[in-house]
Chain A
Amino acid sequence: MESYRNIFGKLNRAALIPFFVIGDPDKKTSLELVKTAIDAGADILELGIPFSDPVADGPTVQKADIRALHAGMTPKKALDFVGKITAYKSIPIGLLVYYNLINHYGVEKFFMDFKAVGGTSVLVADVSIDNADEIAPLAQKAGLETVFMATPNASQERLKRIADKTTGFIYTVSLLGTTGERSSLSAAVKPLVAKLKKLTDKPVCVGFGISSAEHAAAVASAEADGVIIGSRIVKFIEDNPGRPDVMKQQIADFIRSVRQALEQVHR
């Protein structure tokens, strides 16, 4: 698997990074939906393992976690799921996970197992750079890249440290808050991306609250290297219970429209 740096370097536009909760609404449908997203033009995937107490997530992703948990998803099965995706297509997969799950599994073993099924990077939602030593060396040992979050309320000095601890891409949170759709794009995005770009040459992706092709294009024109879209996509699953074909159609259409919008914004 190529490093993120190469992937971002080769694209002459911002990467499209859809987010799914693994196993939402059930394992079989989830697999089809992720494949649909790949076929419709995703460049990288961000996948989450469902957790009982996802404090970084807003209501949409919380509900997805609950659906997936009810359908029986576990960290072990999630790894198996990742293997099925990478077997379908060689695409970089970033994992978003809460610390308790991998701590319980055994952090080192989890990272090794994730690497073995073709994973690229890990982001532990409740481990900040202050505790990076608990995960980063183990990720590196397993051959995984690390992703850390950067938020609008972080000091310049902290942003620098975040950039230093990141080997994959910086997950820039576009607003203060949890994941979730927003009707307009936060005004904090542009200045934050600009600040990070001045500090580091690590790729900078933007997520949280990006809900439309227009938002994505605006993020891309702010010079971001990638656009992560979560709740808007997960919402297609929530809105169409029991109708996987409709989910598929809506997700495919949406991803195509975002991809098109991103292709208009050249770097």
Chain B
Amino acid sequence: MKHNGRFGDFGGFYVPEVLIPALEEIEQAFDRFRDDAQFKAELNELYANYAGRPSPLYFAKRFSEYAGFKVYIKREDLLHGGAHKINNTLGQGLLAKYMGKKKLIAETGAGQHGLATATVGALFGMETKIFMGSIDVERQSLNVHKMKLLGAEVIPVSGGTCTLKDAINDALRYWTAHVDDTFYLFGTAGGPHPYPTIVKYFQSPIGVEARQQCLKQIGRLPDIVTACVGGGSNAIGIFSAFIADKDVKLVGVEGGGKGIPTGQHCATLCVGTVGILHGARTYLLQDENGQVHETECISAGLDYPGVGPEHSYLKDIGRAHYVNVTDEAVLDTFLLFSRLEGILPALESTHALAWVVSQKGKLPADTTVVVNLSGRGDKDIGIVEQHRPLNK
């Protein structure tokens, strides 16, 4: 491998030997094509005319009035597919195409990354297999159906906890046996090098646009930028453009689930300890023997016991702050925001909104906060109805 893929002491590529040549091949291709004029032109064209970039930065007037300070929303929910995931899958999918790969595999939790991968699989005419925990297959049946409509094969994973981490395990296992013709399209800014770097790169338009939009629309940089953190791709996408702006506070919001004391959460950076999972040294939720925990969160897209290594680094150097909000707060905020703004937010993204709500009365009125609305909430209405039924 040419680079060590480290963020401070975090990251790296701790994988079985058989995967090293495959990761090296991707690293090489990424190094070569990221600056290739034709690759960039093709990707930008897809971002603009297929995905719908740039996404707007919207001043949420009524939500701001409620919060007591100014809240701007980066509308990744308006992209094709309804989430930021398409930025990454278009980028990696195109990379796979330039590498001459014919097949894609991906893991998915909520189904959003699986859907975004199935989308580019169809777009580029590549055979696509999606690994998904069997529990997630059940609780996200609509997305499973959509992936199949797009021509992807959905492979339910029943090992371990039957959720995202096990889907990653099985995708990695499948990849070790099919590295010749298959590209593993990793869904978040985690996993072994070079994925954290690649995924950040393909998600960075979120931050680049948001920063420019702030300067143009507000005339200055925001005070706070906030995003939800599952594996950390949408958060690193928006944070990356602001990291050098030392006065901009970066807040990552994790899934507090049923509350930290219950142990049923996925607040990796808030309460985890450093370990090695899925190829990266990073914060993890693990027990006293180093076995990785089951996690729990109302939003399947955040339900992961690890986190992208760059977030671990940003936490340790104090550049970003990581907090968590509970399922209950998220459900309340989902309804509140929907009714104040006419936007159904994805439950993942609602975590960031719920943190904003928690700051009501604590921040001065001239504070400007940018929230990355990573996805739309149509996929979640069943879950919301379960917990907050309309006819009661």
Contacts and interface: CB of A to CB of B under 8 A. Distances in A.
Interface of A: 51-59, 62, 66, 69, 74-76, 98-105, 125-131, 148-151, 153-155, 158, 162, 173, 175-178
A125 B169 CA distance: 14
Given A74-B289, A104-B290, A149 B277 contact: no
B159 A62 contact: yes
B198 interface: no
Contacts of A57: 173
B340 interface: no
Interface string B274-302: 01111100001010011110000000000
B14 interface: yes
Given A53-B277, A62-B159, A176 B290 contact: no
A58 to B, nearest CB: 7
Contact of A105 (B13, B15, B290): B290
B159 A103 contact: no
B93 interface: no
Contact of A126 (B166, B173, B276): B276
B279 A126 contact: yes
Interface of B: 1, 12-18, 20-22, 159-160, 165-166, 169, 172-173, 176-180, 275-279, 284, 286, 289-292
Nearest to B275: A100
Contacts of A75: 289-290
A130 B13 contact: yes
A53 B160 contact: yes
Given A69-B291, A177-B176, A151 B276 contact: no
A55 B13 CA distance: 13
A154 to B, nearest CB: 6
Contacts of A69: 291
A127 B172 CA distance: 15
A191 to B, nearest CB: 16
A101 B21 CA distance: 25
Given A66-B160, A130-B1, A176-B177, A150 B17 contact: yes
B173 A178 contact: yes
Contact of A100 (B20, B159, B160, B276): B276
Nearest to A74: B289
A128 B16 CA distance: 7
B13 A100 contact: no
Contacts of A100: 275-277, 284, 286, 290, 292
A75 to B, nearest CB: 6
Nearest to B274: A103
Contacts of A98: 276
Given A103-B290, A153-B21, 5 more contacts: A76-B289, A100-B276, A126-B276, A131-B13, A176-B18
A102 B159 CA distance: 23
B12 A131 contact: yes
B16 A56 contact: yes
A105 B286 CA distance: 12
Contacts of A173: 17-18
B289 A104 contact: yes
The interface centre, meaning the residue of B20, B22, B165 with most chain A CB atoms within 10 A of its CB, is B20
A131 B14 contact: yes
Contacts of A102: 290
Contact of A176 (B179, B276, B289, B292): B179
Contacts of B180: 176
A216 B14 CA distance: 30
Nearest to A69: B291
A176 B277 contact: no
A103 B15 contact: no
Contacts of B12: 131
Contacts of A104: 275, 286, 289-290
A129 B159 CA distance: 29
A201 to B, nearest CB: 21
Contacts of B14: 99, 126-128, 131
Nearest to B165: A53
Contacts of A129: 17
B17 A55 contact: no
Nearest to B192: A126
B254 to A, nearest CB: 20
Contacts of B177: 175-178
The interface centre, meaning the residue of A52, A162, A177 with most chain B CB atoms within 10 A of its CB, is A52
B289 A149 contact: no
